[in-house]
Structure 1
Amino acid sequence: MSGRVRLGVNIDHVATVRNARGGVHPDPVRAAREALAAGADGITAHLREDRRHITDTDIEALSDLCAEAGRPLNLEMAVTDEMLAIALRHRPHAACLVPERRDEVTTEGGLAVAGHEARIGPVAKALADVGVRVSLFIEPSIEQVEAAHAVGAQVVEFHTGRYCHLSGDDRAIEFDRLQAAASRAVDLGLEVHAGHGLDYETAADMMGIAEVRELNIGHFLIGEAVFVGLTNAIHRMRAAMDRACEATA
């Protein structure tokens, strides 16, 4: 592993708790500020079509916060005209195109890029044309990596949920799949990120894939914050990642 792997903190579920009761507490923007102060390299937020957690007002405030802090905002978004218009208005550092279904509890898999290039390509181009870095949240599949490259993505973020739910030989097979997809992505000039379902242990595992340059982690960190505080949770995650990097150097 060469170089420090960045840690992006997803603050969606602070907004989930806020919205469960209404009102303004807990404030996801406050959480983002604390995350940055604790060493997060950037903030990730998913503005869903149904606004179940992050809201338009949150995105405005997060855009201002990240600009002031000089840290990137990674806007997760569905491939829709509405979300494209919002992204073009705010021009975050990066936009990560993700699949979205109204009845899912959380994102259940990667974006199907292969076979849908005609729909995804124009959105990717529109974002890139205004200087937004285009990321695609995909399964660790060679086919999806090649399709992401074909539509003009600069980054692929691999869905690690399957890896995190497996064990033993099945997990080892999935790790090899992640490794192969990451290698192909770098061959094509794409930067490699990973996220979904990661905890201290599985985030450290991802450090064994030399091509990974960034992890985006949310639900686990927000859950840990209930017990140890957000700053401590981020420090522990950063330490787990760094130890694993040193071990593979």
Structure 2
Amino acid sequence: MIKLGVNIDHVATLRQARKTFEPDPITAASLAVLGGADIITVHLREDRRHIQDRDVRLLRETVCTKLNLEMSTAPEIVDIALKTKPEQITLVPEKRQEITTEGGLDIVTQKKTIMHVVKRFQDAGILVSLFIDAEEDQIEAARDVGAQFIELHTGNYANAKDVTDRNTMIEKLQNGVKIANKLGVRANAGHGLTYQNVGLLVESLDIEELHIGHSIVSRAVFTGIQKAVSEMKELIYRHSLQKPQIIN
């Protein structure tokens, strides 16, 4: 079954709105794991708008599942990640003015820089994933720089206006997974996924991990973190059973 990575950034967003000590993302991570989260994901942004250095340090000490740290290639953030040693880092594009990540990382135009960063993490025994759009040249570039994983950007699928647009996006993501498999790169997916749109994606894609944050945290405001995570986990399980079985 596809593993669920729960992004708890927006628990920290709520805390930072008042610059106080609650709600604590460390507590949220623990409850998410109790709810079934296989992975805890956080994004340490350069502007520290939500997750703080202290959070990353404490999560490394307390998370008993896989810790996935989203980040840019900024030297300061790279140094923090190397010191913290999460199981996995995911390189993402980052703009100061954006509300959330707007698209995939452009590896093709930054190959030299990204290759250098990837090598530093791999030398430290840390898995590397690259958050990219499902474009053949970007997937090939991910292979070329040595990343073990890609995380396909599902924002366009999540924002599809109608069935035709949605199906087009699904086909593009399916093709991206096929290219990755052919090149020996492991595929994950995430961004903009909700309780309403995750089912079709699970049934359509042969991927290892789904990373979901905002929708789970939004539901948790009303139901609690543990229940919100367990509901998403159950959805993924149910739709995994609907996926056609591949016979080798």
TM-score tier after normalising by the smaller chain length: over 0.9
Question: Whole-Å Cα distance in 2 between the matches of residues 15 and 173 of structure 1?
Answer: 35
Which letter does structure 2 place at the counterpart of 1:206?
Answer: L
Q: Indicate conservation of the 8 Å contact 1:201/1:240, yes or no.
A: no
Task: Give a deviation string over 1:89-142, Cα, whole Å, max 9, x none.
Answer: 011100000000000000000000112101111001100111000000000111
Q: Which amino acid aligns with 2:13?
A: T
Aligned to 1:207: 202
Q: Which moved more, 1:165-174 or 1:198-207?
A: 198-207
> Mapping of 1:15-164 within 5 angstroms?
15-66=12-63, 69=64, 71-164=65-158
Gaps of 5+ in 1: none
In the TM superposition, structure 1's runs of 4+ consecutive aligned residues that sit over 4 Å from their partners are: none
Partner of residue 228 from structure 1, selected from 223, 239, 243: 223
Equivalent AA in structure 2 for residue 60 of structure 1: R
What CA distance in whole angstroms lies between the structure 2 residues aligned with 1:202 and 1:137?
20
* Contact 1:138–1:144 (8 Å) recurs in 2: yes
Structure 1 residues 166-190: Cα deviation after superposition (integer angstroms, max 9, x where no partner): 0221111111000000111011111
- Letter paired with 1:47: L
Quote the Cα distance in structure 1 between the aligned partners of 2:115 and 2:101.
Answer: 21
CA displacement 1:133-163 (0-9 Å, x = unmatched): 0000000111111010000000000111110
Confirm or deny: 8 A CA contact 2:173 2:205 kept in the other structure: no
TM-score (norm 2): 0.96
Matching residue's letter, 1:6 = K
Q: Is the 8 A contact 2:2 2:209 kept in 1?
A: yes
Matched residue type, 2:50 = H
Q: Please tell me the residue identity of whatever aligns with 1:231.
A: Q
SS for the counterpart of 2:203 is coil
DSSP 3-state at the match of 1:216:
strand
The alpha-carbon deviation at position 42 of structure 1 amounts to 1.1
How many positions carry a matched residue from both structures?
A: 243
SS at match of 1:136: strand
Q: Percent identity?
A: 44
